[in-house]
Structure 1
Amino acid sequence: MKVTIAYIEEPPFGWTETNGTATGADIALADTVLRAIGVTRIEHHLTSFSELLPGVEAGRWDMNVPLFVTRERADRVAFSVPVWGIADGFLVRTGNPKALDSYASLAKRADARLGIIAGQVQHDSARASGVSEDQITVFEHQADAIEAVLCGAIDAYASTALGNRIVASRIGGSMLEAVEHERGTKGQQQKPPLGAFSFNRSNSDLIQAVNLALRSYLGSPEHRACVAAFGLTHNEIDPALAGRG
């Protein structure tokens, strides 16, 4: 049995090693669960974020790495049980020159520019907090958004707080820093949004098998040790377990 899973370049969730191998917390979780349900051949397909949903809808691959669950996305694809819960944050130049610590704080500064990856939920979150479209630059790939922060074309890149911490640590604190959003500000949720694998809605057998394996594995010592190697902690895992029946 073969399963193809699509991923994007977004450490620590997924990225491509120099030898061409896909790795990351979401890749490791998917591989473990798929092997547990008897998959003998796993193929990893690198794509862009904007192609994840159309690709799985069209059957170009079998499943996607986790992305945030929204009502609009759930109308297009089937989601697994949640696998993590992660709040948003900014990646900024070291020192955070414009003191940006939430979408609302950025909205108050007409001279502040925000970078977002096309199709990601951060776009809606920013607009809901008053950030104007004139302040937003949309990128197709994370690497381009990071370069824009470094060169000063934008003041902040919005992504997950965890992902930004990993990027900042890799690049070095002398150039970039990760800023976690102030909780409770306008547009910020007290509970972090949840992420899950997604599938073509007709692929019920794979969905059911993956969910069964996830329910057994998520939160186990083995699971926690596996994703801890990529920087995920109970802060990201436990929110996904909280509402599970």
Structure 2
Amino acid sequence: MCFSIRNKVISLTIFFFSIFNVSAYADTLSDIKASGKVTIGVANEVPYGYTTSDGKPAGEAPSIAVHLLNEMGVTDVEVVVTEFGSLIPGLRAGRFDVIAAGMYVTPQRCRQVLFSNPTYSIGEGFLVKNGNPESLNGYGDIQEKDVKLGVMSGAVEYGYAREFGIDMSKVVTLPDYPSGVAALKSGRIDALAGTSLTMATLASKDSNVELAQPFDALIIKGESVKGYGAFGFRPGDETLRDAFNAKLDGFIGSDSHLAMVEPYGFGKHTLPKGMTAAKLCQ
């Protein structure tokens, strides 16, 4: 009997702790509205989310986030820069309130964070040395040749390579894209994988590398792979997530939205076209 009662006490303690843990951030929306201050997390990845030389937020996701937050009455937006693979742990640890890094919505990530509805959709690409000496124009080429593919830590490309069937000994994980470009130029890798937009942006900044063209559309399990980027929130912050979704609903695809994101390479061609986080999380 004592053992049973003790188990019940322990179970109740765990239950109430879980409730407290989930509800600890349940009033984040109220808190940031009251203080007028919020912190967003970015991975310094151009053009998705980064900071300018004077520390101001820039890129597709931070630009939209600042706009929506201002509409909510939150005008003091601070930025925390971290490695991409540290964004979710940093959010859950309370280092920032919103992931504004253009993070793809995937079922695995949906088990760790809440996502807004997506703000864009885009396909994949490779960055290669000038002239594409190994003729790497898709994941199939990596699978067939004796080459190395670089992927950013925490990014979806690692999973794409695995699901495509590439021998994972060919995949080199790197902390960020600048490290990836350096690895490519030094010969440590033969191609760097990422979204076509990111790879094109990197190519425009370094005359020694280029975007692999043409690029074979990535097909996994018979389906064309496209990524959908969105904002990330802590579990329990449904009110903040829902507030973002309400604002996004009337903003994404508007003239104001397109004018805001076109300088970063986004536009009508990258609109999510009705895709929702609920569908992507399935």
Q: TM-score range by the shorter chain?
A: over 0.9
Task: Kindly indicate whether the alpha-carbon contact (under 8 Å) linking 1:102 and 1:182 is maintained by their aligned counterparts in 2.
Answer: yes
Task: Kindly indicate whether the alpha-carbon contact (under 8 Å) linking 1:17 and 1:23 is maintained by their aligned counterparts in 2.
Answer: yes
Task: Kindly indicate whether the alpha-carbon contact (under 8 Å) linking 2:161 and 2:168 is maintained by their aligned counterparts in 1.
Answer: no
Q: Does residue 105 of structure 2 align to residue 73 of structure 1?
A: no
Cross-structure match for 1:235: 269
In the TM superposition, residue 206 of structure 1 has moved relative to its aligned partner by: 1.2
Structure that is richer in helix per residue: 2
Task: Kindly indicate whether the alpha-carbon contact (under 8 Å) linking 2:147 and 2:170 is maintained by their aligned counterparts in 1.
Answer: yes
Task: Kindly indicate whether the alpha-carbon contact (under 8 Å) linking 2:61 and 2:231 is maintained by their aligned counterparts in 1.
Answer: no
| Equivalent residues, number | 240
Q: 1:207 to 1:186 in 2, by over 3 A?
A: closer
**DSSP-derived class of the 1:198 partner:** strand
Cross-structure match for 2:252: 218
Instruction: Summarize deviations over 1:61-85 as a string: whole Å, max 9, x none.
Output: 1010221111110011000011111
Match for 1:46: what amino acid?
V
Q: Does residue 173 of structure 2 align to residue 138 of structure 1?
A: yes
Matches within 5 A, 1:20-31: 20-31=55-66
2:210 aligned to which of 177, 189, 196: 177
Match for 1:212: what amino acid?
A
Q: Aligned equivalents of 1:122 and 1:23: distance in 2?
A: 24
Cross-structure match for 1:107: 143
Task: Kindly indicate whether the alpha-carbon contact (under 8 Å) linking 2:124 and 2:217 is maintained by their aligned counterparts in 1.
Answer: no
Specify the structure having the higher radius of gyration (Cα).
Answer: 2
- More displaced stretch, 89-98 vs 176-185: 176-185
Q: Which runs of 5+ in 1 are unaligned?
A: none
1:200 aligned to which of 234, 253, 263: 234
Match for 1:171: what amino acid?
D
Superposition RMSD in Å: 1.8
Task: Kindly indicate whether the alpha-carbon contact (under 8 Å) linking 1:82 and 1:241 is maintained by their aligned counterparts in 2.
Answer: no
Task: Kindly indicate whether the alpha-carbon contact (under 8 Å) linking 2:92 and 2:234 is maintained by their aligned counterparts in 1.
Answer: yes
Q: Does residue 2 of structure 2 align to residue 2 of structure 1?
A: no
Match for 1:198: what amino acid?
G
In the TM superposition, residue 38 of structure 1 has moved relative to its aligned partner by: 1.6
Scaled by the length of structure 2, the TM-score of the pair is 0.81
Task: Kindly indicate whether the alpha-carbon contact (under 8 Å) linking 1:127 and 1:133 is maintained by their aligned counterparts in 2.
Answer: yes
Q: Which runs of 5+ in 2 are unaligned?
A: 1-35
Seq. identity, %? 31
Q: 1:186 to 1:60 in 2, by over 3 A?
A: closer
In the TM superposition, residue 190 of structure 1 has moved relative to its aligned partner by: 2.7
In the TM superposition, residue 228 of structure 1 has moved relative to its aligned partner by: 0.2
- More displaced stretch, 46-55 vs 20-29: 20-29
Task: Kindly indicate whether the alpha-carbon contact (under 8 Å) linking 1:103 and 1:187 is maintained by their aligned counterparts in 2.
Answer: no
2:120 aligned to which of 84, 91, 97: 84
Task: Kindly indicate whether the alpha-carbon contact (under 8 Å) linking 1:48 and 1:141 is maintained by their aligned counterparts in 2.
Answer: yes
Cross-structure match for 2:130: 94
